[in-house]
Amino acid sequence: IGIAVGNICCGILASLTYDYSQNVDGYLIDPLEFEASPSKQEFNRKHLFEPGSLSLSKADAISRCWTGSQKRDTARAAGWSVMYSSDYNISVTLIPKAGSSTMREVLPPLGFEQFGYGRLPRDRELFHATITRDPLSRFLSGYKEVMYRYNIYGVEHRRVYAHDIQRRYARFLQHLNGKDKTEILDIYHANTNETLKTKMDMFETFVEDFDGEDMFDPHFALQTPSHWDPFRPKKMLHYDLTMDLANLTYGLSLFFKKMNLPSLSESKGSIRHRNRDSDRLDLAYVQDHTIRKICRIAALDYCCLNYRLPEACRKPNILPGERVMCQWVPQEAAPQNQYQEGQITFALV
């Protein structure tokens, strides 16, 4: 694939790593902004590359991301909450299902407070940190969290219930029709192949109907829109440190050491694993087309957070228009010349 970057043209394979940060100051953007743009013709195959192939750090990838309009950003954001310390001048952005429970556990004993991002002081130079998570893993965890919070299986007495789920997403509940409480609990624990199959059928039906636009619960919202800077319009935060949930123990140790914080053990908190262990979901039972739908829903996160796609989303037999790729648009090809910098977006090809 020949990828043109400004005045530089490099012939490379999409699966290879290319460091755009050495050549341009770019943004990752949501292509929905440009569906009607005359410049859409400029979004062509020679600028495509695979998610996770950038040599950029996640912090740099996020800073080059543009998620779309401010109105849609707000609707799609996973949260606008931070942990803040005035003593250490540190702000940690919290993202549901990406270590937020752990940060609320380990940081308050060190004097951190939790509040909305808009309350952060603007007259201080802050150290910004956050945790990111593989989008597929986070979607599965978010689904399990929503099933618990909406009391789908009757395992908890909650203030929200199954009937609070939007009607257009509620077809998956039909798999529980005619079953008593004991049978529903058996499906929740999925101790047999039959109950596990029913549970996975529910999940696949939910994904089939879920469009990713109406984020009725923050645990389904994308991670990326929560990272734009409320103090700088159309700009993303530039993080001093990003930690990956898959290696959170190491990330927290690095964070504590870098910021001269007391050790993790001294914080009297601990890394929490709130994912419901008894709520079994097995990807081996999920069909490829369902995983591909999740990849399309989370395409913005795959590109903006520089995560590699799961194998099901990289197979050669994917239908046209359903393959998730990232896309580089040089400065001169930017839609309507709206931005001076070059830009990166995702594309379905």
Give the per-residue pLDDT at 84. Answer: 94
Burial class (CB in 10 A: 0-12, 13-18, 19+), 125: exposed
* Between 28 and 293, the higher pLDDT residue: 293
CA-CA distance, 244 to 337, in Å (whole number)? 35
For residue 62 the two structure tokens come to 């996020």
Q: Are strands 48-49 and 65-66 parallel, antiparallel or unpaired?
A: unpaired
Rounded to the nearest 5 degrees, what angle is found at the Cα of 233, between the Cα atoms of 343 and 5?
A: 10
Sheet of strand 113-116: strand arrangement:
113-116, 81-85, 90-94, 127-132, 241-244
Assessment of whether the complete model's pTM goes beyond 0.75: yes
* Between 129 and 146, the higher pLDDT residue: 129
Give the per-residue pLDDT at 207. Answer: 95
pLDDT band at 35 (very low <50, low <70, confident <90, very high): very low
For residue 260 the two structure tokens come to 């001269």
Percentage of the chain lying above the pLDDT 90 cut: 34
Mean pLDDT, residues 335-343 taken together: 44
CB 110 within 8 A of CB 92: no
CA distances from 93 to 117, 121, 314 (A): 8, 14, 31
Within 10 angstroms of residue 172's Cβ, the number of other Cβ atoms is 22
CA-CA distance, 146 to 217, in Å (whole number)? 7
Q: Which amino acid is at 315?
A: K
pLDDT of 5 strictly over 50: no
Burial class (CB in 10 A: 0-12, 13-18, 19+), 159: exposed
3-state secondary structure of 253: helix
Of the listed ranges 8-12, 80-84, 281-285, the one predicted with least confidence: 8-12
Mean pLDDT, residues 9-14 taken together: 22
CA-CA distance, 293 to 146, in Å (whole number)? 19
For residue 165 the two structure tokens come to 């789920």
Give the per-residue pLDDT at 211. Answer: 85
User: Helical H runs in the chain?
Assistant: 58-63, 70-76, 100-106, 135-149, 181-189, 193-209, 248-258, 288-297, 299-304
pLDDT in tens, 221-259: 889 888 877 777 667 888 999 999 999 989 999 999 989
How many residues are there in the chain? 349
CB 211 within 8 A of CB 201: no
Q: Which amino acid is at 277?
A: D
Rounded to the nearest 5 degrees, what angle is found at the Cα of 220, between the Cα atoms of 218 and 226?
A: 60
Mean pLDDT, residues 62-84 taken together: 66
Give the per-residue pLDDT at 149. Answer: 81
Which sign does the torsion angle of CA 228, 28, 324, 284 carry?
Answer: negative
Name every residue whose Cβ is closer than 8 Å to that of residue 216 and which is 6 or more positions away in sequence: 165, 166, 169
CA-CA distance, 153 to 182, in Å (whole number)? 10
